[in-house]
Amino acid sequence: MATISQVFKNRTPAPRFHLRLSEPQRTAIAFLAPALLIFSIFVLWPIIKSVRYSLYDWNGVGPLSDFIGVNNYEDLLHDKVFWKALKNNGIVVIWSLGTQIPLGVGLALLLTRGLKGSSFFRTLYFVPMVLSEVIVGVIWRWIYQPFFGMANAALLELGLDKQGWLGDEKQVLLCILVVATWRYLGFYIVIFIAAIQGIPEEYYEAASIDGANAFQRHRYITIPQLIPTIRVASVLMIVGALKSFDLVWVLSQGGPSHASELVATYMFKEAFSSNNWGYGSTIAFTLFLIAFVLAITFIFFTRQKKDT
Amino acid sequence: MQKTRKMILFCTLALSMILTLSAGHVEARQSPTVITMWHIAVESDSFYSVLPPAIERFNATHTDVQIEAQAIQNDAFKTQIQVAIAAGEQPDIFMTWGGGLLQSYVEGGVVRDIPELDTELGANFIPGGFAPSTFDGKHYAVPANLAGVFLYYNKDLFEQFDLSAPATWDELISSCETFSENGIIPIALGNVNRWTGSFWFMNLVLRSGGPEPFMNAFNRVDGASFTDPAFVEAGTKIQEAVEAGCFGEGFNGVDYPDEQLLFGTGLAAMELQGDWNYAGLLNIDAEIAENSVDVVPFPLLDSEMGDPNALVGGTGQAFAISADAPAEANVALIELLGSEEFGLSVAENGFIPALKGFDQNIEVPIVQKMASLLSQASFVQLAYDQFLPPELAQVHLDTTQQLFGLSTSPEDAAAETEAAAVEILGAE
């Protein structure tokens, strides 16, 4: 059996107009075909279809007949709600990177020091991750409920004013971000713990012998050793932030008045509530392009690092 | 060679025999025509005790036609039916609220008209029930029940503070202030869903300008627009109520089930909702719902102005028929929803029948009151968000939510709606 890399090494220049493949090549095709087929049907084909829809003014009923070229894309450029949604997605990315990485690394460091009860806390932080995103949303809706929710009850106990939480255009996004962090932090803590445990003990011993203090050991050993993991976590966060939908949908449906709108929720609303399927497809494809470009850029940069 | 030929001959004969046999088999069995149907009466829905039993009864009494129904939860249904229609794979019969969305299906050739409703077969239906689904004089849906929006109030709470049910806007605001001072939520509103807030807007437009401003603006009559003073006035009143603390804080982040809970448990004193809301109140706390809850028409803006008999409402659930459904579907649907048993079951379960002559079968006094208010109505305003084309409906819902959130002015909200109307409906 040939591995994929062997396949490419063994590749001989294919004779023109003859479909004669070497044994390993045929094996590779046979093994890749099912995945490729599924990928084509469920990923590639829908993308092609939505590109087509995005060039039409289509309400999802009847035939595609109203071809309008790139009109939808022009509208998108001038669509205030779209830019707001994109900005909100940006805020989600920055917030995730800015809170979950420092918090995740910090808590992971604490939890790997062998303190009493650290396995208990490890489980505790991971619990929200086991819940489905919709359940998390429903639980937090109740916490934020302005009339009988826990959040306002706590404020009242402390003698503070009640807040509107999800109903307040200025607070809603922050409220959702807190929930997102609560939900995903455990996952990143686990990743970072695994990475920290993978750092050879000898490094620390050597550093201690050289007289490095605890801060220096973290600064010059732990953090640099964690960089690849942080990079992977960042990619996950960015992709997650761009495609996030469920939590926002359950908590606020992107409202009030688009204050917590994300590109994905806006796309859903345009396609399914306003019946602008053409425009919805335009948003979907634009989101795909953004995610694609970001992912490629990230992969490119991570590769550069490996080479040097 | 010889062998191959024989083989081919044998295969052909065998195949033709199998085909003949199976054809005979089909003819002999005479299987009934199957009509597929999608509705939203899932087990948690209050219509569950009405529709599925009716379908069972229908299937038990018919041998030539059978209805194969699938219940889908309300919100999921909205998405699923859109996808099915876009793919041209809608069921033969499906639930609709009529209005702009149904009209787009009519224009797209997705549904067909139901001329049988104009014959003897449709004579049992209350004519007003056809209004949301009639375009160019043709009926495109069969209504299952009628709906009206009323101001629910908690009699006990009102008595406790020596208040009477508000008949005018000023009374409403002053009772709000009293409740607010005493730590009671004056009005329950869950405006995440936005149609809940739209009920306030539509009622206020109706009270301040009557039916004309909306119909004229929609029909793009010369000189009429969504910037009509009635729309601005409605926005102003909404913000007046918000500023007086009528809805409490954070209601734009509360959803309809929580709104129902606030009123149903007696935490809030009022709620503006449809008749269907009552079934939910009964589920939350039957004692409060039966003893303390009452309804009144939406208050007048001032005692000398407006018609208290004009109300917001229309059909509750109605059913449309796919253009490529079997021919039997029309009559089957009318038989399903037009039978005496069905009207009785609608009434007995606390809904307002779309059929004539069942008002006295409504046993619940409050539902009876709503049914009679609806039948005396001088005008029934169909809900904007169902009546308008979907895209414009969304603009209406968004701007109304912004009005409630005090993040836009009544004038700006009106102008934004008008701008969208020009784009979607055309200039005047």
ipTM, 2 decimals?
A: 0.78
β-strand partners of B318 = B96, B143
Quick one: three-class SS letters along B94-160? EEECCHHHHHHHHHCCCECCCHHHHCHHHCCECHHHHHHHEECCEECEEECEEEEEEEEEEHHHHHH
A281 touches chain B (CB under 8 A): no
Q: Which residue of B has its CA nearest to A168?
A: B250
| Residue B269 pLDDT level (bands cut at 50, 70, 90) | very high
Residue to substitute from A61, A72, A279, interface B, most B β-carbons within 10 A: A61
Residues B155 and B304 in one domain: yes
Residues B270 and B125 in one domain: no
CA distances (Å), B231 to each of A283, B237, B317, in order?
A: 32, 10, 28
Average pLDDT over residues A216-228: 89
Q: Are the beta carbons of B189 and B259 closer than 8 angstroms?
A: yes
Query: Higher pLDDT residue, B22 or B83?
Result: B83
* Residue B391 Cα to chain centre, angstroms: 18
Is residue A247 in a domain?
A: yes
Six token digits for residue B363:
């046993």
**How many angstroms separate the CA of residue A167 from the nearest CA in chain B?**
4
Query: Higher pLDDT residue, B8 or A83?
Result: A83
Q: Which of A59, A146, A252 sits opposite B248 (nearest CB)?
A: A146
Is residue B158 in a domain?
A: yes
Residues B137 and B215 in one domain: no
CA distances (Å), B382 to each of A109, B47, B235, in order?
A: 61, 21, 19
Q: Are the beta carbons of B404 and B252 closer than 8 angstroms?
A: yes
Amino acid at residue number B49 = S
**Strand-pair category, B93-96 with B65-71:** unpaired
Is residue A65 in a domain?
A: no
Q: Which residue of A has its CA nearest to B83?
A: A60
Structure confidence at residue A185 (pLDDT)? 92
What CATH number does residue B191 fall under? Answer: 3.40.190.10
Query: Higher pLDDT residue, B31 or B258?
Result: B258
Chain B neighbors of A59, CB-CB under 8 A: 104, 108, 390
Residues A32 and A151 in one domain: no
Task: Check CB contact under 8 Å for A145 and B254.
Answer: yes
Q: How many CB atoms lie within 10 A of CB A119?
A: 11
Task: Check CB contact under 8 Å for A257 and B251.
Answer: no
A60 touches chain B (CB under 8 A): yes
Q: Which of B255, B262, B405 sits opposite A256 (nearest CB)?
A: B405
Residues A105 and A15 in one domain: no
Structure confidence at residue B263 (pLDDT)? 95
Structure confidence at residue B19 (pLDDT)? 54
B398 touches chain A (CB under 8 A): yes
B255 touches chain A (CB under 8 A): yes
| DSSP label at residue B298 | P
Residues A80 and A199 in one domain: yes
| Residue A48 pLDDT level (bands cut at 50, 70, 90) | very high
**How many angstroms separate the CA of residue A42 from the nearest CA in chain B?**
16
Chain B neighbors of A53, CB-CB under 8 A: none
Is residue A188 in a domain?
A: yes
Residues B191 and B266 in one domain: yes
Chain A neighbors of B249, CB-CB under 8 A: 146, 162-164, 167-168
Structure confidence at residue A2 (pLDDT)? 47
Backbone angles phi, psi at B143, to 5 degrees: -80, 145
Backbone angles phi, psi at B68, to 5 degrees: -110, 100
Residues A285 and A155 in one domain: yes
**Strand-pair category, B185-188 with B141-143:** unpaired
Chain A neighbors of B251, CB-CB under 8 A: 146, 167
A-to-B residue pairs, Cβ atoms closer than 8 angstroms:
114
Question: B400 is in which domain, residue-wise?
Answer: 149-312+383-425
Rounded CA-CA distance B381/B383 in Å is 6
| Residue B11 pLDDT level (bands cut at 50, 70, 90) | low
Q: Are the beta carbons of A164 and A146 closer than 8 angstroms?
A: yes
Rounded CA-CA distance B390/A38 in Å is 35
Six token digits for residue B193:
């869903």
Q: Is the pLDDT of residue A62 over 90?
A: no
User: What single string gives the DSSP state of each residue in A57-124?
Assistant: ---SSS----B-TTHHHHHHHT-HHHHHHHHHHHHHHHHIIIIIHHHHHHHHHHHTTT-TTHHHHHHH
Is residue B47 in a domain?
A: yes
> Whose CA is closest to A23, among A36, A34, A10, A40?
A10
Residues A140 and A246 in one domain: yes
Residues B166 and B124 in one domain: no
| Residue A308 pLDDT level (bands cut at 50, 70, 90) | very low
Is residue A59 in a domain?
A: no
- Calculate ∠ Cα A60-A61-A62, nearest 5°: 125
What percent of chain B has a predicted confidence (pLDDT) above 90? 54
Residues A167 and A281 in one domain: yes
Q: Which residues, 6+ apart, have CB-to-CB distance to A17 below 8 Å?
A: none
Is residue A60 in a domain?
A: no
Whether the bond between A228 and the residue before it is cis, its omega within 30 degrees of 0, is no
| Residue B279 pLDDT level (bands cut at 50, 70, 90) | confident
Average pLDDT over residues A12-17: 54
A255 touches chain B (CB under 8 A): yes
Measured N-to-C along each axis, helices A223-243 and A172-197 cross at an angle, to the nearest 10 degrees, of 140
Residues A167 and A105 in one domain: yes
Is residue B414 in a domain?
A: yes
A62 touches chain B (CB under 8 A): yes
Residues A122 and A174 in one domain: yes
What percent of chain A has a predicted confidence (pLDDT) above 70? 92
Residue to substitute from B254, B265, B404, interface A, most A β-carbons within 10 A: B254
Six token digits for residue B266:
């007696």
Query: Higher pLDDT residue, B387 or B198?
Result: B198
Letter string b/e over residues B295-333, b meaning 16 or more CB atoms within 10 A of that residue's CB: bbbbbbbeeeebebebbbbbbbbbbbbbbebeebbbebb
pLDDT tens figures, A88-111: 999 999 999 999 999 999 999 888
pLDDT tens figures, B140-173: 999 999 899 999 999 999 999 999 999 999 999 9
Chain B neighbors of A277, CB-CB under 8 A: 86
Rounded CA-CA distance B82/B85 in Å is 5
Q: Are the beta carbons of A272 and B79 closer than 8 angstroms?
A: yes
Q: Which of B249, B253, B402 sits opposite A162 (nearest CB)?
A: B249
Return mean pLDDT, chain B. 88
> Whose CA is closest to B427, among B224, B245, B196, B232?
B224
Count: domains in chain A: 2
Query: Higher pLDDT residue, B350 or A131?
Result: A131
Rounded CA-CA distance B182/B157 in Å is 11
Chain B neighbors of A167, CB-CB under 8 A: 191-192, 249-254, 405
Q: Is the pLDDT of residue A1 over 70?
A: no
Please tell me the number of Cα atoms within 13 Å of B312 on its side-chain side. Answer: 27
CA distances (Å), B187 to each of A162, A171, B197, in order?
A: 17, 23, 12
Q: Which residue of B has its CA nearest to A274?
A: B391
What is the Cα Rg of chain B in Å? 25
Is residue A199 in a domain?
A: yes
Six token digits for residue B149:
């929006």
pLDDT tens figures, B38-78: 999 988 777 888 999 999 999 999 999 999 999 998 878 88
Residue to substitute from A59, A141, A173, A251, interface B, most B β-carbons within 10 A: A59
What CATH number does residue A128 fall under? Answer: 1.10.3720.10
| Residue B283 pLDDT level (bands cut at 50, 70, 90) | confident
Residues A79 and A48 in one domain: no
B394 touches chain A (CB under 8 A): yes
Residues B300 and B391 in one domain: yes
Count: domains in chain B: 2
Coil vs helix vs strand at B92:
coil
What percent of chain A has a predicted confidence (pLDDT) above 90? 44
pLDDT tens figures, B212-225: 899 889 888 888 89
| Residue A16 pLDDT level (bands cut at 50, 70, 90) | low
Residues A229 and A287 in one domain: yes
Is residue A61 in a domain?
A: no
Residues B324 and B269 in one domain: no
- Calculate ∠ Cα A184-A190-A193, nearest 5°: 140
B185 touches chain A (CB under 8 A): yes
Is residue B279 in a domain?
A: yes
Q: Are the beta carbons of A198 and A221 closer than 8 angstroms?
A: no
Return mean pLDDT, chain A. 86
Helix (H) or strand (E) holding A73: helix A71-77
What percent of chain B has a predicted confidence (pLDDT) above 70? 93
Q: Are the beta carbons of B39 and B69 closer than 8 angstroms?
A: yes
Chain B neighbors of A269, CB-CB under 8 A: 394
Is residue A68 in a domain?
A: no
β-strand partners of B37 = B69, B93
Question: A28 is in which domain, residue-wise?
Answer: 4-53
Q: Structure pTM?
A: 0.82
pLDDT tens figures, A181-198: 999 999 999 999 999 999
A84 touches chain B (CB under 8 A): no
Q: Which of residues 15-74 of B touch A (CB under 8 A)?
A: none
Residues B158 and B268 in one domain: yes
Structure confidence at residue B70 (pLDDT)? 93
Average pLDDT over residues B400-421: 94
Residues B99 and B199 in one domain: no
